[in-house]
Amino acid sequence: MHCVFFLFTLFYLLCLRQMLKGYVTHSVVKPNSALYAVKKKKKKIPKLINITVSSDNEIGTKGEIKKVKLSHAFNYIIPQKLGYRSTIEELVEKEKNENTLRYIDEIKASFIWAYMKKLNDFIIPFQFGKDEKFCVTQDNIVDYLLCRGLIRENDDVYDKMKSKKIKLSDFGTYPIKYTFLNNININVTVKIFKK
């Protein structure tokens, strides 16, 4: 009888322990909030396609390659025969042309940087008598720089300096600023003084 009582008590304690675990826990479980939350709409990324324009129209000029939405291309542009789908050869040719132009601009910029190192804050002196009438123009400035080998003829810097209209007829100091591509500036000072 003692054994049965002992086994019954042990069995009761084990069951009680199991029941307590099921009802009393220390971890708090959050309710499933996905049912009540509003889902965020995913931003649709428009699918683009390259179209070559077949004639001059509102899309672009003939032969120009444009990126347009896929739906716009197949619903409007291609049926209206305003353009056609670009071929791989056309895309490669366009990329080559863009790269070539970019390299040419980089080379021009490097030449202008070299000139900027030589000519920036350069002082060009001109000397005239007190009663002498004079007029210093861009031709005089360009000739001065050419004679000293600071610039070359038929160059971007030469053309830019030649094209700027300058007429100086008084004594004094005149700062001149030349602006080139990529906002590269060359500052030259012209000093006209008396003998």
Tell me, yes or no, whether 82 and 118 share the same domain.
no
Q: Does residue 35 lie within any of the structural domains?
A: no
Q: Does residue 118 lie within any of the structural domains?
A: yes
Distance CA 162, CA 145 (A): 11
Q: Does residue 131 lie within any of the structural domains?
A: yes
175: domain CATH number? Answer: 3.10.430.100
Tell me, yes or no, whether 166 and 121 share the same domain.
yes
* Structure confidence at residue 175 (pLDDT): 92
Q: Identify how many contiguous H helices and E strands the chain contains and give both numbers.
A: 5, 8
* Structure confidence at residue 118 (pLDDT): 86
Residue ranges in the chain whose pLDDT is less than 50? none
Tell me, yes or no, whether 114 and 70 share the same domain.
no
Tell me, yes or no, whether 116 and 190 share the same domain.
yes
Tell me, yes or no, whether 133 and 78 share the same domain.
no
* Structure confidence at residue 83 (pLDDT): 93
Chain position carrying tokens 């863009």: 98
Distance CA 140, CA 165 (A): 11
Q: Does residue 96 lie within any of the structural domains?
A: no
Q: Does residue 71 lie within any of the structural domains?
A: yes
Cβ–Cβ under 8 Å, residues 126 and 139? no
Chain position carrying tokens 């056309």: 90
Tell me, yes or no, whether 113 and 190 share the same domain.
yes
The answer for residues whose C-beta is within 8 angstroms of residue 83's C-beta and 6 or more apart is 51, 52, 53, 54, 59, 66, 73, 77
Task: Find the radius of gyration of the CA atoms of the chain.
Answer: 41
Q: Does residue 127 lie within any of the structural domains?
A: yes
* Structure confidence at residue 26 (pLDDT): 56
* Structure confidence at residue 103 (pLDDT): 92
Tell me, yes or no, whether 118 and 189 share the same domain.
yes
Q: What is the domain extent for residue 81? A: 48-86
58: domain CATH number? Answer: 3.40.5.10
User: In the 8-state DSSP scheme, what is residue 79?
Assistant: T
Q: Does residue 149 lie within any of the structural domains?
A: yes
Q: Does residue 13 lie within any of the structural domains?
A: no
Cβ–Cβ under 8 Å, residues 50 and 91? yes
* Structure confidence at residue 115 (pLDDT): 84
Tell me, yes or no, whether 176 and 133 share the same domain.
yes
Where b means 16+ CB within 10 Å and e means fewer, 96-112 reads eeeeeeeeeeeebeeeb
Specify the number of domains making up the chain.
2
